[in-house]
Homo-oligomer: A and B are copies of this chain.
């Protein structure tokens, strides 16, 4: 039910293996009891009966890395430490350590603890602490107990495996109901290159720059600068077009490590190969973005809002996100209620100068396509067809503004009783 159809792209093949799909990346995950009361909570590890709460990803050799971080002014300690580490040791990054159940944010010793996580990892792997990316997700405002982490690190190192992706992907889940992984294979100058990744997060998702925890790995030979440039560009049209609830988290990051083991000639700026690489990143991130949307807290449907005929991409994006974010639109989608007034209303209060009052609005799903609003005016339409369209799991709201030639797509989900239930008592 939470599955996303793999969209075909010529020249790219989907692969198994997630964050371990690229050459030379091992991963592992274990349960260490960061939050005792959370055992077991239903998100079970594929191997044990207890959900993993900490994971490690390690490259066989040094990596170039790039990352984007939350724009929230209240930043998690791991964000600060990771940023610092990448700035010090880029080109030599080797490992990721990430935990769920505690965000290590808004507490008195967060940075110290995040550094300790890096040190523990580095010591166990025989690398430097600066070569480690650290991330945490979970409850904000509590002290992170370091003892369970210290106990977990040797186990994580021992369990590191070229097929450990699933153990890692489940360890970062919080209220997620499905693990989120993807991998893509493509060709660069005759060499087979792989890019894979994993993501988590279903509530508190309204990224400005990045969102949630997302780790990508690739064996491509590409510089840190080009990696960062590709990441910035692709995040704009994937993660930054996602909204589950309008809440922008304090801890979110998207990072990517490239170890060059595919042995392709180093990718040059402005080259055809760079475009091929960026498209691979887009394919992977688009898929994870849709998975995050569809697995939004309590969600039963993936809602896509495509705004066309806009004067520019930014305007189209603001309008599409305004629609996707509207609680009234989200509730109407849950109820399969073809209320076009709510779409018009949400476009009307989007913070742009664009004239949205003449828009055509369609609902589209595999059950059909229906025009519900023409030139800004509500139409009489076939209510049965509209109901059938909106009763599907994957729904597109198409708004044609007729104000230009740019477009943008935003992804979100419906709002349900379960969203309220999940968030009414998150800490317990």
Q: Which residues of A contact B (CB under 8 A)?
A: 71-75, 103, 105-108, 139-142, 203-204, 206, 208, 245-250, 325-328, 331-332, 334-335, 337, 339-342, 344-349, 355-357, 372-373, 376-379, 415-417, 419-428
What 7 pairs between A and B have smallest CB-CB spacing? A140-B341, A141-B378, A335-B424, A74-B348, A331-B423, A248-B349, A72-B348
Are A345 and B246 in contact, with the CB atoms below 8 A? no
Are B426 and A106 in contact, with the CB atoms below 8 A? no
Report how far A341 CA is from B325 CA in the complex, Å: 21
Report how far A347 CA is from B71 CA in the complex, Å: 12
Are A345 and B248 in contact, with the CB atoms below 8 A? yes
Residues of B with C-beta under 8 A to A327: 245-247, 327, 419, 423
Which of B141, B208, B419 is in CB contact (< 8 Å) with A344? Answer: B141
Shortest Cβ distance from A386 into chain B, in angstroms? 11
Shortest Cβ distance from A69 into chain B, in angstroms? 13
Are A139 and B341 in contact, with the CB atoms below 8 A? yes
Shortest Cβ distance from A283 into chain B, in angstroms? 29
Are B331 and A140 in contact, with the CB atoms below 8 A? no
Are A249 and B332 in contact, with the CB atoms below 8 A? no
Are B420 and A341 in contact, with the CB atoms below 8 A? no
Are A140 and B378 in contact, with the CB atoms below 8 A? yes
Report how far A357 CA is from B142 CA in the complex, Å: 15
Shortest Cβ distance from A66 into chain B, in angstroms? 23
Are B417 and A347 in contact, with the CB atoms below 8 A? no
Residues of B with C-beta under 8 A to A250: 341, 344-345, 348
Are B141 and A106 in contact, with the CB atoms below 8 A? no
Residues of B with C-beta under 8 A to A346: 247
Shortest Cβ distance from A186 into chain B, in angstroms? 36
Shortest Cβ distance from A307 into chain B, in angstroms? 14
Shortest Cβ distance from A352 into chain B, in angstroms? 9
Residues of B with C-beta under 8 A to A74: 344-345, 347-348, 356-357, 376
Residues of B with C-beta under 8 A to A335: 423-426
Shortest Cβ distance from A212 into chain B, in angstroms? 13
Shortest Cβ distance from A246 into chain B, in angstroms? 6
Are A423 and B106 in contact, with the CB atoms below 8 A? no
Residues of B with C-beta under 8 A to A348: 72-75, 248, 250
Given A72-B345, A332-B426, A335-B424, A326:B246 Cβ within 8 A = yes
Chain B residue at smallest Cβ distance from A354: B73
* Pairs across A and B, CB under 8 Å, 19 listed: A73-B347, A73-B349, A74-B347, A74-B376, A106-B341, A106-B377, A107-B377, A140-B342, A140-B378, A141-B372, A204-B328, A208-B349, A247-B326, A248-B349, A250-B341, A250-B345, A331-B422, A331-B423, A415-B423
Report how far A248 CA is from B328 CA in the complex, Å: 10
Shortest Cβ distance from A73 into chain B, in angstroms? 4
Are B334 and A424 in contact, with the CB atoms below 8 A? yes
Are A331 and B424 in contact, with the CB atoms below 8 A? yes
Which of B140, B328, B341, B420 is in CB contact (< 8 Å) with A203? Answer: B328
Shortest Cβ distance from A105 into chain B, in angstroms? 7
Shortest Cβ distance from A420 into chain B, in angstroms? 5
Residues of B with C-beta under 8 A to A372: 141
Shortest Cβ distance from A402 into chain B, in angstroms? 15
Residues of B with C-beta under 8 A to A420: 331, 334, 415-417, 419-420
Which of B332, B341, B378 is in CB contact (< 8 Å) with A423? Answer: B332
Are B72 and A140 in contact, with the CB atoms below 8 A? no
Shortest Cβ distance from A263 into chain B, in angstroms? 43
Shortest Cβ distance from A70 into chain B, in angstroms? 8
Residues of B with C-beta under 8 A to A107: 377-378
Are A141 and B341 in contact, with the CB atoms below 8 A? yes
